[in-house]
Amino acid sequence: MARPRPPIDLRALEAFVAVCETGTMTAAAKRLAVSQSAISQSIASLEREQNTELFDRESRPPRPNRAGRVLLQMAGPLLQQAQDISSRLKDAAQGEMLPVRLGCVDSFAATVGPELIRAMSNSARQIELWSGLTPTLAGQIHRGEVDVVVCTQTPITDTRLSEMPLMSEAFLAVASRRWFENRKGDSTAWTHLSGDLPLIRYTARSVIGQQVERLARHLNIDSPRRYEFDATDPLLSLVSANLGFAISTPLCLWQARHYLNDLVVLPLPPGSLSRREFFILHRRGEWHDLVDNVAALTGRVIDGLIRPALTRFFPQMPATALQRSTNQSP
């Protein structure tokens, strides 16, 4: 069996290309800032390792022969790729210039995400914002397809990942303003709401749908499964039309804020099932500065924009319905 030839030495290949492009070993040595003997040794080593002559040495100056022309044609892309790899590794070591892939659950991406991008738009760092459901994002960071994830659960046990609490929000009963006004003089507690209207649900495929279902069972809300949606917008369109009520969250309400004038919210009993938590996931030893920046910016967006705006629409919304996490140490 023939012994395989060794892989091409990139420095020798660079010397070969320089000789071909400049016409002489002397000129190639000047271009690469090495001695002429170093160029000559590189070419000889390359021909020896490949067991192939690369130049027609009867011509003056030497020109690449057929094998040399084939190698010259392939050498450019190979050397460029090697240069790109070197640049990428340098960027990775510096950290700041490497694009970061930030994955966020849909409600966070649609509400806080634009503010994050706007705040970071003057930074040298490039950010690619992805959105999706928590199980999808968790799988993507596990496979290395995204770098940092904002999600509502951490269902994976990957010791390579760090988890940091980011924020939390309360589940709220959401009804149409028409229902609320029709009950003037009567009680408008969530218990009466669940007795008057069916529950419009998030799909059980989503984490929020599973969380709402657990909370509904805990609150003894026994409503037939008539409407289920993957997204908040169509869900609240039915609520605003007084076709049912929903259990949703402040971020989801802000995501579909064009319906807010037609809605009211009613607080639900506090408890461990009555809130959803947000976390930041990232690989250990990577992106610490970015994670801290995302946490700080998220707090400013919550305190300065989203909570004040929702409070104007819904004065009855508890002050603790949307709040940043106090423990943000990875």
Read off the pLDDT of residues 140-152 as tens digits, 9 standing for 90 and up. 888 888 889 998 8
Compute how many other C-beta atoms are within 10 angstroms of the C-beta atom of residue 120.
18
Q: Residue 158 has what pLDDT?
A: 73
Q: What is the mean pLDDT of the segment spanning 88-101?
A: 62
Q: What is the mean pLDDT of the segment spanning 156-174?
A: 87
- Let me know if 8 is exposed, middle or buried by CB neighbors in 10 A (0-12, 13-18, 19+): middle
Tens of pLDDT, residue by residue over 306-318, are: 999 999 999 989 9
Measured CA to CA, the distance from residue 212 to residue 152 in angstroms comes to: 13
CA distances for 66 relative to 56, 62, 69, 70, 72, angstroms: 9, 13, 5, 6, 10
Lowest mean pLDDT among 13-22, 179-188, 207-216, 316-325: 179-188
- Mention every residue, 6+ apart, whose C-beta is less than 8 A from residue 214: 273
Q: What is the mean pLDDT of the segment spanning 113-118?
A: 85
Q: Residue 5 has what pLDDT?
A: 61
Pairing label, strands 127-132, 100-105: parallel
**Conformational region of residue 51, where left means phi above 0, alpha means psi within -120 to 50, and beta covers everything else:** left
Q: Residue 329 has what pLDDT?
A: 46
Q: Residue 232 has what pLDDT?
A: 93
Residue ranges, comma separated, of all CATH 1.10.10.10 domains in the chain are 10-92
For the question of whether the overall pTM of this predicted structure is more than 0.75, the answer is no
At residue 315, the 3 state secondary structure works out as coil
Beta bridge partners, 275, equal 170
In the predicted structure, residue 87 carries a pLDDT above the cut 80:
no
| 61 prior amide bond cis, ω within 30 | yes
In the predicted structure, residue 1 carries a pLDDT above the cut 50:
no
Tens of pLDDT, residue by residue over 42-55, are: 889 988 888 888 88
Assign 155 a pLDDT band (cuts: 50, 70, 90). Answer: low
CA distances for 136 relative to 130, 149, 161, 294, angstroms: 11, 11, 16, 21
In this structure, which topology does domain 95-330 adopt according to CATH? D-Maltodextrin-Binding Protein; domain 2 (3.40.190)
Please provide the average confidence, as pLDDT, over all residues in the chain.
Answer: 86
Q: Residue 124 has what pLDDT?
A: 57
Percentage of the chain lying above the pLDDT 90 cut: 38
In the predicted structure, residue 85 carries a pLDDT above the cut 80:
no
Q: Residue 153 has what pLDDT?
A: 75
Q: Residue 3 has what pLDDT?
A: 57
At residue 151, the 3 state secondary structure works out as strand
Q: Residue 201 has what pLDDT?
A: 94
> Does 94 or 318 have the greater pLDDT score?
318
CATH classification of 10-92 is 3.30.1330.40, yes or no? no
